[in-house]
């Protein structure tokens, strides 16, 4: 019997879930804090 292998799905978030009603979120990664923001052109920028 051959069991098909399911590909590993990567976690996915919609940016509306992440930003809610704002334009920035802070992300803690290890000892660092990053800011993810939406630009006026609706692009994403990640800064330290």
3-state secondary structure the chain: CCCCCCCCCCCCCCHHHHHCCCCEEEEEECCEEEEEEECCCCCEEEEC
> What value does the mean pLDDT take over residues 25-34?
97
pLDDT at 31 over 90: yes
pLDDT score of 8 more than 90 = no
- pLDDT band at residue 1 under the 50/70/90 scheme: confident
Can you give the pLDDT at residue 32?
A: 98
């Amino acid at each position: 019997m051959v069991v098909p292998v399911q590909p590993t799905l990567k976690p996915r978030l919609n940016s509306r879930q992440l930003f809610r009603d704002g334009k920035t979120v802070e992300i803690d990664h290890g000892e660092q804090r990053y800011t993810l923001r939406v630009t006026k052109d609706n692009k994403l920028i990640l800064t330290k």
